[in-house]
Amino acid sequence: MTKDLEPGARAPAFSLETGDSAKIASKDLKGKKIVLYFYPKDDTPGCTKEAIGFSEDIAKYKRAGAIVIGVSKDTPAKHQKFKDKHRLKVMLGADEDGQVVAKYGVWVEKNMYGRKYMGIERTTFLIDQKGVIRQIWRKVKVAGHAREVLDAVKAL
């Protein structure tokens, strides 16, 4: 929907099913820092590395008062399988209908080997305790990303 979200803007509300039959909603996370990261697809090499990176530092994120949520259009069941296979410690939200992806402006035209298609742009949003976006990382390169975001969380 909107690609023009910028730091200082109010984060769009979200409610997502997780792989463990629960729901996670922004309205229930008031007072917490939220790392909301969007990724293309469960169990692909880059997405797996990113999820493992966040999972390895999950205790540090919790100590810094943050919750980490990965979002893709995969189903809750696929998320659970992905979590179990790689022992992931991050929460994964299923946005099957793409509403949250659209609200955050990360559903974009991609181009691979000359083929154009629509997909999720790997993007991370850092949202403060009041629901305001403090930082955005677009077109994320996975290597070192989880640590970079952790530094920003600690500085918030």
Contact in structure between 130 and 29 (CB atoms under 8 Å):
no
Q: Classify each residue of 49-75 as buried b or exposed e, where b means 16 or more C-beta atoms within 10 Å of its C-beta.
A: ebbbbbbebbeebeebebbbbbbbbbe
Whether 124 and 36 have beta carbons less than 8 Å apart is answered as yes
Options 11, 29, 35, 47, the catalytic residue = 47
Question: Would residue 47 show up in a list of annotated catalytic residues for this protein?
Answer: yes
Instruction: For 1-45, give the secondary structure using H, E and C.
Output: CCCCCCCCCECCCCEEEECCCCEEEHHHHCCCEEEEEECCCCCCH
Q: What is the largest CA-CA distance in the chain?
A: 45
* Active centre residues (catalytic): 47
